[in-house]
Structure 1
Amino acid sequence: MQQLTKRAVTAIVEAICKVNIITSDELLANIPRQCRSIVLQEHDMQWSDFVDFLEWCDRTYAMDWLKVGEECHESSSLPIVKRLLGSSHSVKMAYWIAAKWLGESSFPLIKTKNFQAKGLEVIEELELATHHRYSIQIFQIFQGMLAAMPEKVFGLKPAHVEMNPTPRGVVYNIVIPQEQSVLLWLWRRIVGVFYMNSLLRELTIQQEEISEKSLALLKRQGEFQNLIENFQDGVFIHCFGEIRYANPKIVEFLGYEHNLELVGHSIFEKIIPPENVEMVQVRMMHLMSSSEQNISNPPVEIQFITKSGGKFNSEATAVPITFQGQRCVAVTVRDLSDRKKLQAHLMTTDRMTALGQLAAGVGHEINNPLTYVMMNLEMLTNMMTSDHITGYEKQLAAIQKGLERIRSVVKDLKKVSRYSEEESLTNVDVNTVLDSVLSMAKNEIQQRALCNFERGDVPPIWIDETRLAQVLLNLLVNAAQAIEPGDIENNSIEIKTSINENQQVCIEISDTGAGMSPEVQKRVFEPFFTTKPIGTGTGLGLPICQNIVNQFKGHMEFESKVGEGTKFRVLFPISAHLELPQTTESVDVESRKMQQGQILLIDDDSDLLAVLQEVISTKHDCVGFTDARMALDTLHNNDSFDGIICDLMMPTMSGMQFYSMLKEVAPQYLSKIVFMTGGSFTSETDEFLSQPNIRYCEKPVDTKILMDIIQSMIQPPKLESTSLESTDIKVTAKKAA
C-alpha cells in the first residue's frame, strides 16, 4: 500500500522551506541520508522516513508547525485542491471534503474515524494505522491547515481549532467563522462553475499520472518476482507459520515438484523438524512483533525436512516484509551441502595427517628397541655357534622370524598411513605396493575369503606411493567387508595386475560378495553415501579414491551384480619418467682387504647406543655419545675419525642441527656422516633427507649392512654415484644434478 503521496509531501516540504526562508537545495545539503527520499520525493517514500524528516526539522529549526500548515495552502502542488474546496457551497462542506476525501487520499495511512458538524462547530477525529510510528508534528500541521482553511479558501477569518491527542491519533474541535452573505455566496458559486472545466482537466491529468505510476510499479513488481523466481537460493514467505509463497529453488531443495505442495501449509508441520520448532517460533515472534524498521534475524544453520523425510542442511536468514497487505516473514535458504562436504573432507584430511604422524611416531619408538633386540639376537646366535651350542636353532630362527615380521608391519604401516599435502612423485611398482597393503588388510580378509594375487609383468607408474597405497587398501577392505564372515572356502578376493589394450597399467580387485543394486551403483562415488552400518563407514572412501586416481591421470571403473559380487578396475598410464641408468658399483666389501677404522656414534637411546657400540667394536674402534653437543666438542680440531653414524631424531640436538653445526666446527666430516632414522614424520626432515649429499639408513639395521656402511666410509668407492642396497636398507650418495 502507498504510504505517502507526492502532492502532500511537496506541499509540506515547500512550506517548511518558506517558513525557514531556505531553499530545497539548502535543506537537502544538511538532511540525514535516510530522509533524502522525502525531499527528493522519490517513489519509495516511507512513512518512517517521513517521521524522521519531521523530527529532524523540529530539532534543527525549532519549527512552528501551525505556520507550516497555514503555508501548505499556498503550495504549488495544491491549486486543484483549493479550487475543489472553494467550489463547496459551505465551509462545513469543505471540511467534510477535506476529511473524507482529500485527507485520506493524500495520507493513506491516516483515516477519518469520526466527523460531526453542528452549527458553527465541527468535530473531526483522525487515527494512524497500526504498526506505524506516531508523529505529533503531522497532526500539528493538520491543525494549522484546518485553522487557515476559511481564510485561504473562502476569504473569511481563520477558524479556532483545538487539538486533543489520542493513543493513535487526535480529535480536532473546530469553531468556524460566520458564513458570508447570500450575494457573496452566489458570486463564489458562479466563479466555481467557470473553474469546473479546468478542475476536470487537472483531475484527468492526475489520473493519467497515477495510472502510469501504477503500471511502472507493476512492472517493477514483475521484475522483482522474476528475480526471486530465478534466485539460486531458496526463498519462502510465511505469515505466523503459514506458507504464502515458495520460489522454485526452495521447492527443489526440499524435493517437491510444485510450490502448491507447500503454499497454504504450516512450516511447523511441513518443513521444520520437531527439535527446531521452539527456536523458529522465537525468531518468528521477534520479527512479527517488532515495530523496528530494517530488522532481521542473524543467519542460522538449520535442517529442513524434505518431502522424502530426509534432512536438508541449510543456512537461513529471515526478515519481516509486507506481503499481500499483511506483515509476513521472508526466509532466504542457502544450500550448505557443499560446505558440509568440504568440512568433512578437511576433517578426514586432519585425521589422515594425525594418523600419519602417529604411525611415524610408532615406527620411531618401535624401531629403536627392535634394532638392539635384533642385534643382540644376532650376537647371541653367533656366540652359540662359535661355542658349538646346539639344539636351540629352531627357537632362535622363530625369534628372528617374529622380529622380521614386526619390522615388516611397522614399515607397511608407515607406508600406508602416512599422509601429506605435499606429493612425493616417483616411479612406483604396483605389485610391491599391493604386497604391502595385502599385509595390512590380512586380518580383514582371512576371516571372510581366500585371496589370490595374479601378478603381471607391469612397468612402473608415476605416482605418490602413499596415495596409491591408500586407494588399494580402501578397495581391498571394501571387497572384504562385502563378504559375510564364516564361509571362507566358498568366497574369494581376486587381485590381478596387467597391461590392457590401451597400454595402461590395470589393477583389478574383485570379490564374490553381495554386489550392488543399480540404485546403489549410481551413487557409489557420491560423498557421504554408504550402505555400511553407522560407525562402520563414512561414505568418503570411494570419493576420495576417485579423486586421487583422477589426480594422477588415472581412471576408476567397476561392474557389479547383486548376489554375484563386484569388480573394481583402476587404470593408470605407464610412467613417462624413465630414470637414467647411473654408473654403479656393487660394493663387494668381502673382496677388499678389511681395514680397521675409528667411528664416532651418536644416539640418544642409551640401550641402542650400547649394542651398536658392542657390534661396531668387534671390528673397529668406536666412541659413543647420547648428546650430539658433546660429540661436536670431540670433533673440534680432531681429524682422527674415519666416519660418523648419527641418529636423526634426538631431543637435545637433532641430527639436522648437528649437521648444520658440523659445517662450522668440522666441515671435513660432512662427507663421512651417515644418518640413522626410525621414521621421518615432518616435512622438514623429509626435505633434509631428500638432499643429494645426505646419506641415511632406516632402522632396524642388521649387523652385516651396518659393517658394510662403515667399510664404505673407511674405503670410499671412487665413483661419483654409489648405492648400497639390500631388501631392508638403502644407503645412497648421489652427485647433485
Structure 2
Amino acid sequence: MTHLPPSPTSLPPDAEQGRLLLEHAPMLVWRADAVGRCNYFNSTWLAFTGLTLEEATVGWVECLHPDDRPRVLETGFAYAVRREPFELEFRLRRHDGAHRWMLDRGVPYFDEAGEFAGYIGSLIDVHEAHERARRALEESEQRFRSFMEHSPIAASIKDEQGRYLFLNPGAVSQHGKPMQELLGRTLEEVHPGAQTAEIHRGDLRAVREQRVLEALRCVQTAAGPREWLTVVFPIERPGGTPLLGKVALETTARRLAEDALRRSEASFRTLIEASTDCILVLRDAQVVYANPRGLRTLGVASLAQLQPRALAQLLHGGDAPALVGHVRALAEGVAPPPPAEYRFHCGAGGERTAEVQLLAIEFDGAPCVMLVARDITERAELQRRLMAADRLVSMGTLAAGMAHEINNPLSYVLGNLGYLEAQLARAQEQALLEVVREAREGAERVRQIVRDLKTLSRGDDERRGPVDVLAVLQSSINMAWNEIRHRARLVRDFSPVPRVQANESRLGQVFLNLLVNAAQAIPEGRADRHHIEVRVYPAADGRVAVEVRDSGEGIAREHLPRIFDPFFTSKPIGEGTGLGLAICHGIVSQLGGSIEVESERGQGTCMRVFLPQAPEESAPAPGPGVRAGRRGRLLFIDDEPRIGKTYQLLLRDEHDVLALTRAQEALERLRAGEHFDLVFCDLMMPEMTGMDLHAELSRWAPEKARAMVFLTGGAFTPKARAFLSQVDNCQLEKPVSPDALRRFIRDALG
C-alpha cells in the first residue's frame, strides 16, 4: 500500500468535458460516495468486466479474486475512514473469467462546501509486469534455494523462541540428525547440554538486541572438536516479531590445516636452526636470514653483526661473480644450477670450501633465494690428500717395478765386476784393480738405493717377523739424507738391541716420516747450528726404543694433544697433509708398540718409539739331500740370459753350473731325471714363473721343490709377496754379491 499525498481535487459530475474524458479514458475509472457505495464505472471498466452499470454498482465486489477480496475491502474501509489517498494491487476478473492483476489508485474528493463526498479512482492492468516480477521472484527464490541446497554454509531460520523454521542441508548435516527431528525444536532441545544452552541464549540475544553477532564456536562431537564461524542476525517480518537468521561456516579443516602448517613451519624452522649446513636467505643478493650454523661459519653471533651483508663480499673474489649471477638468475625465474663448490670467507680471516645448492623460496611474503652451503673443507682436503696418497702408492708401485728392472742388470754388473776383480787380483794389476773396485763400490751404492726403495714400496705387504731396527733405521736415514744434510748435523747413538717383531716396510715408513718431520722443523742453510740426534737403545721394560730428537722450532703446548689427529698440521697450506704422524701412530700401535712426544716451543722436539722384541728363532736346518764336502751341481733359471752367464762365470771353478732362461725347460729336465743339489730360480718370469715351477714340483717331487732357492729382483705383486710368505724355501734378493752367493752355497752344501 502506497500512501498518496492528499488532494483537494473535486470533479463536478455534470461537467460534460469531464464526463467525456472519464468515459473514454484507456484506464478503468470508478467512483464511490461518502459511505463507500460505487455509483460510477466508465465504459472501459464495464467492457473489461463484461458487466452493465447496474450490475457493476451492486456486484463489483464479485469481480475481485476471492483471495484478494477481504484485503481490498478492509484496506478500502481503513483509508476511507482516514480520507487518505491509497494505492492497492489486486486481481480483477475479466469478462472471459480470467483474473488480471490491476493497480488501483484512489483519491478522496470533496463537494462545493468542502465536505468529503467519496473516492474516485483508476485501475491500470499490470498483469504482465506482475507476472514478470513473479517469475523473477520465483527464479530468484529457486536460485537461492539451489544455493542453500548446495552451499557449504549451514543456514537456518528460527522464530523468536529459537525454534527452527528452516534449515538447509548444510545445517541439517551440522546437527547430524534428520530434518523432522529439527523443525519446531530449539538447539538446546536437539542437543541438550551446557554448551548448546549457552549458544541458544546467545542466538536469542541477537533478536532481543536487534544486532548482528559474530562468533567462533568450537563444539565437541563424537568425532572430535569441530569449529564454526557463525553469524546471527535478526530478520524483520512486517506485522510480526522478527525472526532469527543464522549462517555458519565450518572452519575445522582450515584450523587443522593452519595448525598443521604452523607445526610444519615450526618443524621446518627447527630443522633449519639445527641444521649442520650453513643456510642463508638472500633478497637482491643480500643476506636477510642466516641459521645458527651459518652465523658461526661467517664468524658472527647474530645477523645484526654481519657486515657487510652482500653475498659477493662473503665469497672468495674468484667465486663471487659466478654465484651472485646464479642467485640473480634464479630470482628472475631461471632454473636453479646444479650444486657446485665455492669458497667463503669466515671468522678470523679464514676460508672454507662449501658445496652450494640454490632454491627459490618465499620468505616473509617476498620471493627470495635460499642458499644451502655444506662445508666440505675437510672433505676437499681429504680428497686432495687421498690423491696425493694415491700418487705415492703409484710411485711405490713404480719404485718396486724399477727396483726389479734395475736389479736384473745390476746382478750381472756386480757379478762381472766381482769376477774381474778376482782375475785382476791374481794378475796383480793394481791400477786396473782400483778402477774395478771403485766401479764395484758405485754398483753397491746403487744396490743399496734400490734396496731402500724396495723397503718403502711394499705398501700392501703386512707380513710381520723379526726385523733389524738398525738396518731399517739406516735405510730410512739414507732416504731422508737429502732433507737432513742441508739443515742439520746428524748424530747417531746406536746401542746393540735385539730384533723387533714388525713389518720392515711399515717400520721404515715410520722412521722416514719422523726423520723428515725433524728436518723440516729446522730452517735450511744453518746446518752447523742445528742437529738431529737418532738414538737406539734397550728400554727399561724390555722393549726397543728409537728416538729422533731435533733442535728445531718445537710444538706449541696447545697443539700437543692433537698432533696424532688425522689432518692436523701446523705447517703452512700446501706443505703438510696432517696425515704423517697419524699414520705413524696407527702403524706403531698395530705393531704392538707406542709412540710418545716431548716438545717445547723454541727447544725442539723428541719423538720416541717403543717396539716389542721379536721371539727367539731357532737356526734353520740344512735342506734335505745336501751332502757336505763335494762339488755341487747347480741350476740357475732366469729369463735374463746375462745373469745365468755371470753365475756360470763366477762359479765354474767351484761347481757344475747349468743356466736356463725358461722354467718349462728346467721342469722337463728335472722330470727326465737330471739331479741338481740346488735350483736357483727367478720368481717373476714370462710363460712359467718360479711360483708355477714350485707348484709343479710340489705335486710330483716335493723334495726337489724344497731344494729351490728363489732369486728375486723384488716381489712387487701381492701374489708374489703372498707366495714368499707361505713357502719355507730360502730367498736371495738380487743383486747378490759374488761373496754372499759363494757363502750361501758353501753353507748349503756343508
Normalising by structure 1, we get a TM-score of 0.64
**Structure 1 pair 500–647 and aligned structure 2 pair: CA distance change class (3 A):** closer
Shift of 1:467: 1.8
8 Å CA contact 1:296, 1:318 repeated in 2: yes
1:463 to 474, 489, 502: 502
Structure 2 Cα separation of the partners of residues 384 and 683 of structure 1: 43
| Counterpart residue number, 2:339 | 299
**Structure 1 pair 578–209 and aligned structure 2 pair: CA distance change class (3 A):** same
| Counterpart residue number, 1:595 | 631
| Counterpart residue number, 2:358 | 318
Shift of 1:445: 2.0
Shift of 1:266: 1.9
For structure 1, the 5+ residue unaligned runs are: 1-66, 84-184, 718-737
Structure 1 Cα separation of the partners of residues 743 and 676 of structure 2: 17
Are 1:442 and 2:477 an aligned pair? no
User: Structure 2: which amino acid aligns with 1:677?
Assistant: T
| Counterpart residue number, 2:618 | 581
| Counterpart residue number, 2:12 | none
8 Å CA contact 2:708, 2:730 repeated in 1: yes
2:389 to 349, 353, 362: 349
**Structure 1 pair 551–342 and aligned structure 2 pair: CA distance change class (3 A):** farther
Are 1:698 and 2:733 an aligned pair? yes
User: Structure 1: which amino acid aligns with 2:729?
Assistant: I
Are 1:194 and 2:243 an aligned pair? yes
**What does 1:662-681 correspond to in 2, within 5 Å?**
662=697, 669-681=704-716
Of 452-461 and 689-698, more deviation after overlay is shown by: 452-461
SS for the counterpart of 1:268 is helix
Shift of 1:356: 1.8
Are 1:418 and 2:462 an aligned pair? no
Are 1:559 and 2:598 an aligned pair? yes
Shift of 1:676: 0.9
1:544 to 575, 583, 587: 583
Identity of aligned residues (%): 34
| Counterpart residue number, 2:95 | none
| Counterpart residue number, 1:161 | none
8 Å CA contact 1:635, 1:665 repeated in 2: no
| Counterpart residue number, 1:474 | 513
8 Å CA contact 2:623, 2:706 repeated in 1: no
**What does 1:253-292 correspond to in 2, within 5 Å?**
253-262=297-306, 265-269=309-313, 271-290=314-333
**Structure 1 pair 246–289 and aligned structure 2 pair: CA distance change class (3 A):** same
| Counterpart residue number, 1:483 | 522
User: Structure 2: which amino acid aligns with 1:626?
Assistant: T
**What does 1:639-718 correspond to in 2, within 5 Å?**
639-662=674-697, 669-710=704-745, 715=749
- Count of aligned positions: 532
| Counterpart residue number, 1:368 | 408
| Counterpart residue number, 2:467 | 428
Shift of 1:281: 3.3
Structure 2 Cα separation of the partners of residues 605 and 211 of structure 1: 90
For structure 2, the 5+ residue unaligned runs are: 1-141, 158-234
User: Structure 1: which amino acid aligns with 2:319?
Assistant: N
SS for the counterpart of 1:680 is coil
8 Å CA contact 1:594, 1:711 repeated in 2: no
8 Å CA contact 2:236, 2:243 repeated in 1: no
Structure 1 Cα separation of the partners of residues 541 and 381 of structure 2: 35
SS for the counterpart of 1:226 is helix
Structure 2 Cα separation of the partners of residues 459 and 188 of structure 1: 123
1:243 to 269, 283, 287: 287
| Residues 312-334 of structure 1: per-residue CA shift (max 9 Å, x gap) | 12222222222111122222222
8 Å CA contact 1:315, 1:335 repeated in 2: yes
SS for the counterpart of 1:265 is coil
SS for the counterpart of 1:431 is helix
Of 525-534 and 352-361, more deviation after overlay is shown by: 525-534
Shift of 1:678: 0.9
User: Structure 2: which amino acid aligns with 1:620?
Assistant: H
Shift of 1:273: 2.3
| Residues 537-570 of structure 1: per-residue CA shift (max 9 Å, x gap) | 4444333333333444544443334443222233
SS for the counterpart of 2:726 is coil
**What does 1:30-179 correspond to in 2, within 5 Å?**
74-80=149-155
**Structure 1 pair 672–584 and aligned structure 2 pair: CA distance change class (3 A):** closer
Structure 1 Cα separation of the partners of residues 676 and 254 of structure 2: 104
**Structure 1 pair 236–487 and aligned structure 2 pair: CA distance change class (3 A):** closer
8 Å CA contact 2:300, 2:347 repeated in 1: yes
Are 1:507 and 2:582 an aligned pair? no
Larger radius of gyration: 2
SS for the counterpart of 1:622 is strand
| Residues 146-202 of structure 1: per-residue CA shift (max 9 Å, x gap) | xxxxxxxxxxxxxxxxxxxxxxxxxxxxxxxxxxxxxxx9759989x5234x34xx4
**Structure 1 pair 549–341 and aligned structure 2 pair: CA distance change class (3 A):** farther
| Residues 357-386 of structure 1: per-residue CA shift (max 9 Å, x gap) | 222222222222222122222222222333
Structure 2 Cα separation of the partners of residues 209 and 371 of structure 1: 91
Shift of 1:456: 3.8
**Structure 1 pair 426–663 and aligned structure 2 pair: CA distance change class (3 A):** closer
8 Å CA contact 2:707, 2:729 repeated in 1: no
Structure 1 Cα separation of the partners of residues 597 and 676 of structure 2: 60
| Counterpart residue number, 1:226 | 270
Q: CA RMSD in A?
A: 3.8
Shift of 1:412: 1.7
User: Structure 2: which amino acid aligns with 1:689?
Assistant: L
Structure 2 Cα separation of the partners of residues 317 and 190 of structure 1: 71
User: Structure 2: which amino acid aligns with 1:289?
Assistant: E
8 Å CA contact 1:236, 1:244 repeated in 2: yes
1:492 to 524, 527, 531: 531
Shift of 1:430: 2.9
Are 1:607 and 2:656 an aligned pair? no
Structure 2 Cα separation of the partners of residues 664 and 548 of structure 1: 39
**What does 1:7-26 correspond to in 2, within 5 Å?**
none
SS for the counterpart of 2:339 is strand
Normalising by structure 2, we get a TM-score of 0.63
Structure 1 Cα separation of the partners of residues 144 and 639 of structure 2: 96
**Structure 1 pair 579–624 and aligned structure 2 pair: CA distance change class (3 A):** same
Structure 2 Cα separation of the partners of residues 382 and 506 of structure 1: 43
SS for the counterpart of 1:495 is strand
Of 436-445 and 321-330, more deviation after overlay is shown by: 436-445
SS for the counterpart of 2:319 is helix
